[in-house]
Chains A and B, each alone.
Chain A
Amino acid sequence: MKYKSQKVAYWFFALSMLLLVLQITYGFIMGFARMGMDGLHEWIPFNTARSTHINLLVVWLLSGFMGAAYYIIPEESETELWSTKWAYVQLISLALVGVITIIGFHYNFWAVFGWEAIEGRKFLEIPRQLDWLVAGNVILFLVILLMTMIKGKKTTTTSLVLFGGLVAAALLYLPGMITFDSQVYDSFFRWWVVHLWVEGVWELIMGGMLAFLLIKLTGVDREVIEKWLYVVVGLTFLSGILGTGHHYYYIGVNNIWLIVGGIFSALEPLAFLAMALWAVNMYRKGEKKHPNKTAILWTLGSAIVSFLGAGVLGLAHTLPQTNLYTHGTLVTAMHGHLAFWGAYAMIVMAMIMYVLPNLTGRKLYDTGRSRAAFWLANLGMFSMTTAFGVAGVAQVYMERIMKVDFGQVQNQLQVHFLVLIIGATIFTIGITLYIIDFLKYGLPNDEALES
């Protein structure tokens, strides 16, 4: 590492790993419940498990993005972080929000204050009182980054795109905090947060991280990489903003969204294709001399799997004629799992694999274990995606075409969840190996400082 304060990134990544383990645990609870083995129902009913599962996903990814930003911004700005002390305060408050939220989902201790423990709005379940703590946390995070960039010697395109993505993500949290009486309006503006995050500004964050990794790992000229970064994020917004319309087909708003959403969401894979081509071409152009092959594997993997998961599988059910039948079925879970994994989980994991040797000074990269972690995690996730996909298509046929009752259909689908559990087990083995690698690196230390 070049700056001592970059060490703070390690603890955000450590928090990410902890929350990822918890997220997987809740995924198993849900998988078994779908197979009819719901023994934990009294303590962890499915809706609690699901909210915990998806909120842990959001928080561990955000923690990963924050860790990445705390590593990238000082290096790009050529200066120490504005305040390491405040960065640790921000880390602790983020962890606190996570812990209070999860415990609150299970035990409604908020009731003593007359507050709700959960908002019951998919992906935005964090109760309103904690929303303000999240807002304070994110403002502190952005102030630290901004002050670092101001005092720094350089402002690069990579750091601007990353910072812009983080600011936009913070601003887009606000529409989710507005209360509506109408379910239609509620749903409409909920997508301003969820869609414009994951199919908009989070791609800016991903693009910034990917550009940084490509610059460091391929040795290709920064100007070339950053030029294509603009093209990729340009395509993302050009298609993704109006692509929000694919969530508005069937929620009770004007059918103009069938046309607008249909056309622009069909263009969304182009942004992911451009990202994959950009990453692969930069690697091919590069010197291929960097010894951290594991980080390269995760980086290229992220670009390619995000194209398959977010791009191709998104396209598979994005047209209104198809979505009419697949909307509200397990087909969405198929797309969601591979998209989040490829686009966001893998880029965070790529960043961690690049950063750990630099923070700790231990060059443990490119081992059999690290390669096995990559391939097993991906094999597991592709198996899970396939299981969700087959279950989803079967559900569409039986429930939406043959009009079989929901409960009967779900009983018929149980076998697919056995396949899902097997896939999830392979995935978990991969993640376990990855975390063993993480632990083997040990703690960051000043001896790793580049002279």
Chain B
Amino acid sequence: MLSKKQAQVFFLGGTAVTFLIFIMLTIYSLGEAQDQSNAEALTASAVRGKEIWEKNNCMGCHTLFGEGGYYAPELTKVVERKGEAIIKAILMSPVAWNPTGQRQMVAYEMTEAEAQDVVEFFKWCGNVDLNGFDNLVSPLAKKDQ
């Protein structure tokens, strides 16, 4: 029968081994050779766009890479789907965007430069290899049906 000491060793040993493997896998998968995000293509404008994305809590409604609020559309491939001009118009509009007549977006009234930064951020995100999820939410996948 298992003793308390053996149970303790199982807990501490199991935790140590799996945590070590987790750290090694983290180092491996975030290494330059494994990069799937086109990290070198990340521009200052896209980084500013990410900051705008965060400070306006866009994730509270939208999803990006499938993560977020499930209340508004997935934006991973949004530039391909909607085009730059529409996205910028929505972000700069003083009137709340309300395409279905039900759910409305906050009217952020961004400047053109801010809207451009957000678009650059979306473009960069749209080129990240998401192991197949990007294909599922891309306009190409829709045409394939």
Query: Which residues on A sit within 8 Å (CB–CB) of B50?
Result: 181, 183, 186
- Seen from chain A, the residues whose Cβ lies within 8 Å of a Cβ on chain B are 30, 33-34, 36, 38, 41, 45-48, 50-51, 116-122, 125, 157, 181-188, 223, 226-228, 230-231, 233-235, 237-238, 241-242, 244-245, 248-258, 260, 324-325, 327-330, 332-333, 400, 402-403, 406-408, 410-411, 414
Distance from B130 Cβ to chain A, minimum over Cβ atoms (Å): 5
Distance from A123 Cβ to chain B, minimum over Cβ atoms (Å): 10
Q: Which of B11, B19, B96, B99 contacts A230 (CB 8 A)?
A: B11
Contact A47 B60 (CB under 8 A): yes
Bound CA span A233–B14, Å: 10
Question: On chain B, which size bracket covers the interface?
Answer: 35 or more
Distance from B132 Cβ to chain A, minimum over Cβ atoms (Å): 6
**Residue interface bits B91-133, CB-to-A below 8 A is 1, else 0:** 0000010011011101000000000000001001100111111
Bound CA span A393–B59, Å: 22
Contact A120 B99 (CB under 8 A): no
Query: Is residue B47 contacting chain A, with contact meaning CB distance below 8 A?
Result: yes
- Chain B residue with the shortest CB-CB distance to A329: B70
Q: What are 30 A-B interface contacts by the 8 Å CB criterion?
A: A38-B104, A41-B104, A45-B61, A46-B72, A47-B58, A47-B71, A51-B60, A122-B59, A182-B39, A182-B42, A183-B37, A226-B4, A227-B3, A234-B10, A234-B15, A237-B18, A249-B131, A250-B130, A250-B132, A252-B37, A252-B128, A253-B29, A253-B34, A258-B131, A324-B133, A327-B133, A328-B66, A407-B100, A408-B100, A410-B102
Query: Which residues on B sit within 8 Å (CB–CB) of A46?
Result: 60-61, 69, 71-72, 103
Q: Which of B26, B28, B133, B142 has the largest count of A CB atoms less than 10 A from its CB?
A: B133
- Chain B residue with the shortest CB-CB distance to A228: B7
**Residue interface bits B46-68, CB-to-A below 8 A is 1, else 0:** 01001001111111110111111
Given A228-B7, A328-B66, are A47 and B57 neighbors across the interface (CB < 8 Å)? yes
Query: Which residues on A sit within 8 Å (CB–CB) of B54?
Result: 116, 118-121
Bound CA span A257–B30, Å: 12
- Seen from chain B, the residues whose Cβ lies within 8 Å of a Cβ on chain A are 2-4, 7-8, 10-11, 14-15, 18-19, 21-22, 25-26, 28-30, 34, 36-37, 39, 42, 47, 50, 53-61, 63-74, 96, 99-100, 102-104, 106, 121, 124-125, 128-133, 136, 141-142, 145
Query: Which residues on A sit within 8 Å (CB–CB) of B136?
Result: 324-325, 400
Q: Which of A41, A121, A406, A408 has the largest count of B CB atoms less than 10 A from its CB?
A: A406
Contact B70 A255 (CB under 8 A): no
Query: Which residues on B sit within 8 Å (CB–CB) of A402?
Result: 145
Given A253-B34, A255-B131, are A406 and B73 neighbors across the interface (CB < 8 Å)? yes
| Majority-rule SS of A interface residues | helix
Bound CA span A241–B66, Å: 21
Q: Which of B19, B22, B60, B68 has the largest count of A CB atoms less than 10 A from its CB?
A: B60
Contact A252 B36 (CB under 8 A): yes
Q: Which of B7, B19, B121 contacts A241 (CB 8 A)?
A: B19
Distance from B53 Cβ to chain A, minimum over Cβ atoms (Å): 7
